[in-house]
Chains A and B, each alone.
Chain A
Amino acid sequence: MAGGQERILRGRIRSVQATKKITRAMELIAASRIVKAQQRVQAAVPYSEQITEVVRDLAAAGASSDSPLLTGRDTIQNVCYVAITADRGLCGGYNSGVLRAAEGEIKADVQAGRGYVVVPVGRKAEGYFRFRGYSLEKGFAGFSDQPGYANAKEIGEHVVKLYASGAVDKVVLVYTRFITAGSQEVVLRPLVPLEREVVQGGDGKPGTDGAGADYEYEPDPSAILDTLLPRYVEARIYAALLNAAASEHAFRQRAMKSATDNAEELIKSLSRIMNRARQDAITTEIMEIVGGAEALSGDSKTTHLIDLGPIGDDELFASVHNGL
């Protein structure tokens, strides 16, 4: 019946409204976190810039290191992918973008006859690759919202160990780079071995007398470089984690905004349908009443003439009176 339909619609509107409240709250939370995450990205810039500079200066000064992080290997047999995703969903295409990019690279590697291994960062990456049976290394999760340097250090140490042991010959970071609140992009960045152009091209900042800086070292340059390189890798990972966190919040904010808008739209169209249903119900009811009344008035005439005629109202009335 029409009344039943109206009740169903009212229930649906209520549930959409409840969902809208949740998505709106998530949108606002994400929006406020973008700013904080962005500040964190900014705060990490001085360190990574300076450490890059130190690496360059060292390389320019002729510090040679046998560190495998720098030298690279002649043939690349196995590639390690560090895929950085979120721990939670509800952030639009954020996770799938990273996962698709990583998966594409892995497939290309497999076709080229190379081995691969995935280091998933974030629960979504781990779940995705595990479910599809990819070969996984130790995963890291639980900090995608607010990564700390300790997290980056953990990942860095693991990856460097993996590389040093010879299990992999190359490490690639897959993450979402935060450009502005409105635009982010999935990027693949080779992490280890360190790119030549990163290490070279240091101008050895001119000293106070204008000549090329002639550094004093303590301990010797190669020893410094050896302890410096893992830190450099960690700083790169940390920057990637921070970028990923900021992007995650930006994606979530956008996704939740469109979810809220959709809910609004849905509520509008549902209320329209509900109102029409109610109007229909009312119209039908009026029609029934009018029809009933019409029928009754027509009925009473005919009954007067045919059925009730012989007895008559007055007669009945009289007989009741008489009975009393």
Chain B
Amino acid sequence: MSDAMRVEVVSPERVLFSGEATQVITRTLGGGEIAFLNGHAPFLGALDYCHTRIYLADGKVEDVAIHGGFVEVSNNKVSLLTDLAELGGEIDRARAMRAKEAAEERMRGEHDAEVEAALSRAHARLAASGGLTGTAAGAH
């Protein structure tokens, strides 16, 4: 048996990604990061805002920013169901950066769920499009 499994990233409007991969790292609500390898036991989880890495069978890594959703693993197939997701290559870094700064600015004043969500979204976007540290260096 090959060590590849099927991975699908599905949003309500379209199938964002579909392909063979060897490993998927994502983050569940309250559970922290979790990695799925080939032959993982059936798993169902709710996803947090996160930067999901899909290690493709050909050695490349597909970065996806996932803004909440679900993951189902069964029969060597990983389905990421999400309300909203963006592939790393499609993210507008400058916009995400601005959103992050705006959210951080508001965080100083008040702490509510909405601002926090906005900040986590921005973090997920930035991480998926090239890492937070790289951004900080680029921004200054």
Nearest-neighbour CB distance to chain A for B117, whole angstroms, equals 14
* Contact, CB under 8 Å: B28 / A47: no
Q: Mark B76-107, 1 if CB is under 8 A from A, else 0.
A: 10010101100000000000000000000000
Does A7 make an interface contact (CB < 8 A)? no
Nearest B residue (CB) for A51: B81
Chain A interface SS verdict (over half): helix
Report B-chain residues with C-beta under 8 Å of the C-beta of A206: 75
Q: Mark B38-66, 1 if CB is under 8 A from A, else 0.
A: 01011111100000000000000000000
Report A-chain residues with C-beta under 8 Å of the C-beta of B28: 218-219
* Contact, CB under 8 Å: B44 / A148: no
Does A305 make an interface contact (CB < 8 A)? no
Nearest-neighbour CB distance to chain B for A47, whole angstroms, equals 5
B-facing residues in A37-51 (Cβ within 8 Å): 40, 43-44, 46-48, 50-51
Report A-chain residues with C-beta under 8 Å of the C-beta of B41: 207, 214-216
* Contact, CB under 8 Å: B10 / A50: yes
Q: A50-B10, A207-B75 are in contact. Are A215 and B42 (CB under 8 A)?
A: yes
Does B138 make an interface contact (CB < 8 A)? no
Nearest-neighbour CB distance to chain B for A36, whole angstroms, equals 13
* Contact, CB under 8 Å: A213 / B14: no
Report A-chain residues with C-beta under 8 Å of the C-beta of B43: 215-218
Nearest-neighbour CB distance to chain B for A268, whole angstroms, equals 46
* Contact, CB under 8 Å: A149 / B44: no
A-facing residues in B1-47 (Cβ within 8 Å): 8, 10-15, 28-31, 34, 39, 41-46
Does A322 make an interface contact (CB < 8 A)? no
Report B-chain residues with C-beta under 8 Å of the C-beta of A213: 42, 74
Report A-chain residues with C-beta under 8 Å of the C-beta of B30: 218-219
* Alpha-carbon separation in the docked complex, A43 to B15 (Å): 7
Does A84 make an interface contact (CB < 8 A)? no
Report B-chain residues with C-beta under 8 Å of the C-beta of A47: 10-13, 15, 81
* Alpha-carbon separation in the docked complex, A44 to B10 (Å): 9
* Contact, CB under 8 Å: A46 / B42: no
Does A57 make an interface contact (CB < 8 A)? yes
Report A-chain residues with C-beta under 8 Å of the C-beta of B34: 218
Interface residues, chain B, with chain A CB atoms under 8 Å away: 8, 10-15, 28-31, 34, 39, 41-46, 70, 72, 74-76, 79, 81, 83-84
In the complex, 23 of the A-B residue pairs with CB atoms within 8 angstroms, ordered by the A residue number, are A43-B15, A47-B12, A47-B15, A47-B81, A50-B8, A57-B44, A58-B44, A149-B13, A149-B83, A149-B84, A206-B75, A207-B74, A213-B74, A214-B42, A217-B44, A218-B29, A218-B31, A218-B44, A219-B30, A219-B31, A228-B46, A228-B70, A234-B12
9 more A-B contacts (CB under 8 A) besides A216-B42, A219-B30, A231-B83? A47-B13, A50-B72, A54-B44, A54-B70, A207-B41, A219-B28, A219-B45, A231-B70, A234-B12
Interface residues, chain A, with chain B CB atoms under 8 Å away: 40, 43-44, 46-48, 50-51, 53-54, 57-58, 148-149, 152-153, 205-208, 213-219, 221, 223-224, 227-228, 231, 234-235, 238
